[in-house]
Amino acid sequence: MIENKLNQPMNTEDIINMGKENVMNTYGRLPMALVKGLGTHIWDSDGKEYLDFVAGLAVTSLGHAHPDIVAVIREQAGEILHTSNLYWIPSQVKLAKMLTANSFADKVFFCNSGAEANESAIKLARKYAKEHHGDHKFHIVSLKNSFHGRTLATLTATGQTKYHQGYAPLPEGFSYITMDDQTELEGIINVDTAAVIIEPVQGEGGVYPVSKEFLQRARELCDQYGALLIFDEVQCGLGRTGKLFAYEWSGVTPDIVTLAKALGNGVPIGAMLATDKAAASFQPGDHASTFGGNPLATAVGCKVIEIMTGDGFLANVNTKGDYFQNKLQSLADKYNLQTKVRGLGLMLGLPVGEKAPAIVSECCANGLLINCVGGKTLRFLPPLTVSIEEIDQAMVILEQAFEKMI
């Protein structure tokens, strides 16, 4: 029988205790519950306010409770939420057109997450390879230190062995090479390669942009051997780097791009974009997603793309990104860290060494949410709508943490 207290307001301690009793222990969660947000600001269940420079891991890129997004959700919820893909979905069709009109792609497949988008890309690449070249062509090449998802195929594509532990036997046919090492790249792509999958900017791996030269050489080798080039832009895509798509910085056009996170600003959605040539290998029955591209998620997605492609939006991301990067670099120089800020736009990483987790905790205690990757790099993913004033406020808190920890 459901306890009456479920209908009563719960304090933080109640939430945490009930969570430990009933939610699977798959996350190392901070001892806090976030319950309300507005723009770059967020509040926990005790009423404490924070600047949110995590943005749900690059998800709420238009900030919390964006009025236009809220209005779309309310309106769509009053119309229809789900029909399945047995029928045409008007907002899905519109969003697909908006994505193809602003990219290299001709077709879009919708799903619910970044992992699903990458799973779709791997399946499409293998089916394309078999149709065009034969059963021998199924190998997938990815980069060491990459992250592509948590399904069996996408965690296998992830070039970090810590994510593989406990799940053997993993799917066969995956290999890993060092980022920006063209010799390794040239030595591994061959007639058996179905696809190369690359994050133009590695996120979970430590905020590392891949060099233009490496991406260009990958494109050349994929063309030479009939392999597809997949760019995983689940984290770095949709305005995060200062362009709508991160691949635009390199001048390299992939065959497939995967998206998720920012596309729904908090509403779960994923998308795989592909050229007509690649997309033709998927026919009815080859792949599907019950909830993929449903009316609510795609209605929100349409509004997200409308806002991000509006006049001056991406230019402002670049301006604020440059400002933030310079501020972070000045702080690093002041404390003699002998390191460089990495990233593009408002996807930035600052290596600080072993004290990174302690700095994250100190910032949280003083009202700034950031996180670290790899245990040594501070990662900053504020909403793309963050203001210069909010960046300055964050820098004050960050420097206070540096004064105490470094």
Find out if CATH 2.40.128.260 is the number for domain 4-65+312-405.
Answer: no
Phi, psi (degrees; rounded to nearest 5) at 392: -60, -40
Q: Please tell me the distance from the alpha carbon of residue 323 to that of residue 239, in angstroms, as a whole number.
A: 16
pLDDT values of the chain reduced to their tens digit, one per residue, 406 residues: 345 566 677 889 999 999 999 999 999 999 999 999 999 999 999 999 999 999 999 999 999 999 999 999 999 999 999 999 999 999 999 999 999 999 999 999 999 999 999 999 999 999 999 999 999 999 999 999 999 999 999 999 999 999 999 999 999 999 999 999 999 999 999 999 999 999 999 999 999 999 999 999 999 999 999 999 999 999 999 999 999 999 999 999 999 999 999 999 999 999 999 999 999 999 999 999 999 999 999 999 999 999 999 999 999 999 999 999 999 999 999 999 999 999 999 999 999 999 999 999 999 999 999 999 999 999 999 999 999 999 999 999 999 999 998 8
* SS3 state at 89: coil
Q: Please tell me the distance from the alpha carbon of residue 360 to that of residue 327, in angstroms, as a whole number.
A: 18
Q: Which fold has domain 69-308?
A: Aspartate Aminotransferase; domain 2 (3.40.640)
Domain boundaries, the chain: 4-65+312-405, 69-308
C-alpha distances out from residue 269 to 14, 89, 277, 403, Å: 31, 15, 24, 41
Asked if the domains at 4-65+312-405 and 69-308 fall in one CATH topology, the answer is no
Per-residue model confidence as pLDDT tens digits over 177-231: 999 999 999 999 999 999 999 999 999 999 999 999 999 999 999 999 999 999 9
Q: At what angle do helices 295-308 and 313-334 cross, to 10 degrees?
A: 80
* DSSP per-residue codes, 247-263: GGGTT---SEEEE-GGG
C-alpha distances out from residue 236 to 163, 257, 296, Å: 21, 11, 23
Candidates 155, 253, 254, 236; CA nearest to 199 is: 236
* 188 touches 181 (CB < 8 A): no
* 383 touches 63 (CB < 8 A): yes
Q: Output the pLDDT for position 5.
A: 60
**Is the bond preceding 209 in cis, omega lying within 30 degrees of 0?**
no
Q: Please tell me the distance from the alpha carbon of residue 140 to that of residue 176, in angstroms, as a whole number.
A: 9
Please give the model's pTM, rounded to 2 decimal places. Answer: 0.95
